[in-house]
Amino acid sequence: MWLTSEQAQIIVAHARAEVPREACGLIAGNGERAAEIIPIPNAAADPLRAYTMDERRLVEALTQFESRGLELIGLYHSHPNSDPIPSPTDVKQASYPDTPYLIVSLKGGETRFAAWTMRYGKVSEVDLYVGNEPPPEKPSSLSRAQKTAILISGLIAFALLIVVSLSLLPPAPAIPH
């Protein structure tokens, strides 16, 4: 997920304005790039410990996204007093399994971000980039030499498989003269 510095600051300002309550909202965009941050009122019964997005505002925002050619690329909420790690309540209530959940922590006056997907109780960290320039290209995990070595090893293994297979064939029947 890619947020500009300004978009990150909008989320932080919203989170700080809501302290001690948890703030929440939506991130609209295309692909992994955010285009718009939409704060949504927290309608939770206990907004000091959880968040529930106001259903009316949530539906309005999602409808507006579609009319402008945007899609939901993330949800965000704040943890005023804890780390940016999904709480058991966050995991239990996650209802968009393929959409990243951005958490902004304000613990100790320090602002920290982390993004996660939560799919049926399984939590996975999502790459998050904050900056005005496009994120740097991810380097391949394998070097060119490593890729070449894997290819050559595969070819050798295939050749050995053919040789072994041919050696295990029964002898050909004798051809009568």
Contact 68, 60 (CB under 8 A): no
Q: Is 17 part of any domain?
A: yes
Q: How many domains does the chain have?
A: 1
Residue 126 sits in a domain whose CATH number is 3.40.140.10
Q: Is 111 part of any domain?
A: yes
Rounded to whole angstroms, the Cα distance separating 162 from 33 reads 49
Q: Is 173 part of any domain?
A: no
Give the model's pLDDT for residue 54: 96
Q: Is 39 part of any domain?
A: yes
CA 95 to chain centre: 14
| Phi, then psi, of 28 in degrees rounded to 5 | -105, 150
Q: List the catalytic residues.
A: 22
Q: Is 140 part of any domain?
A: no
Q: Is 174 part of any domain?
A: no
Q: Is 58 part of any domain?
A: yes
Give the model's pLDDT for residue 138: 67
Residue by residue, pLDDT tens for the chain (177 residues) are 999 999 999 999 999 999 999 999 999 999 999 999 999 999 999 999 999 999 999 999 999 988 999 999 999 999 999 999 999 999 999 999 889 999 999 999 899 999 999 988 899 999 999 988 877 776 667 788 888 889 999 899 888 998 888 888 888 788 887
Structure tokens at 165: 């297979």
Q: Which residues of 139-153 are buried (b: 16+ CB within 10 A; e: fewer)?
A: eeeeeeeeeeeeeee
Q: Is 86 part of any domain?
A: yes
Total-model pTM: 0.76
Q: Name the residue range of residue 60's domain.
A: 2-130
